[in-house]
Amino acid sequence: MEKDLIRKDVLQKRDELSVYKIEVKSREIFEELVTRPEYIEASNILTYASVRNEVKTDEIILDALALGKRVFCPKVTDKKNGIMKFVRIYEPENLVPGDYGLMEPEIRDDSEIFDPDFYADESNVRRIDGENAGKTMVIVPGVAFDEKGNRIGYKGGFYDRFLSKVSYADTVALCYKIQIVDEIIPSEYDIPVKSIIHEK
């Protein structure tokens, strides 16, 4: 099945989920995520703010902040070329309505922007706050996934461009079982995620 057809089919199924089911499934996915060593050891959590019927990330953001992790959320900076930057937030209120109906941080003169090159350097990582510092987890959105981690996104290419710069990061997709398909044929530019968490 072509990507556009898979995207349309899965989005329709996801749109039909009730508020109750989204809450229950999202809670189960959250509880699985926060027990994973990759999450526990990560000092940097790069996550989108969920919208519509996506797996909810609100609780993840609050948990990561409460644990003292550095939390970064994406801000679209160049729509035409599919470029976004991850900006550090200190509370959910730092997110405001932005492009595509997404909640995004604002970029100000004193904003801390996640620098992929800086965190790729182990000496920089250790300098920040000890041996575990600098481990990075990227929570990746998407419409559909296969068991190999291939994904179909929302057609912007933003995440594939970003993920190509952070091969050292743990990348995880959070989705419902209805978003898992048999096979996605990746293009040469597609970057698969390293793990997927869905409800049992």
Binding-site residues, please? 3-7, 54, 151-159
Greatest extent of the chain over all pairs of C-alpha atoms, in Å = 48
| Amino acid of residue 136 | T
Q: Record the tokens describing residue 81, joined without a space.
A: 């070329």
Please enumerate, by residue number, every residue annotated as part of a binding site for ATP.
3-7, 151-159
Please report which helix (H) or strand (E) contains residue 72, including its range.
Answer: strand 70-78
Please enumerate, by residue number, every residue annotated as part of a binding site for substrate.
54
DSSP state of 44: E
CB 158 within 8 A of CB 193: no
The total of other beta-carbon atoms located within 10 Å of residue 130's CB is: 10
What 3-state DSSP class applies to 133?
coil
DSSP state of 76: E
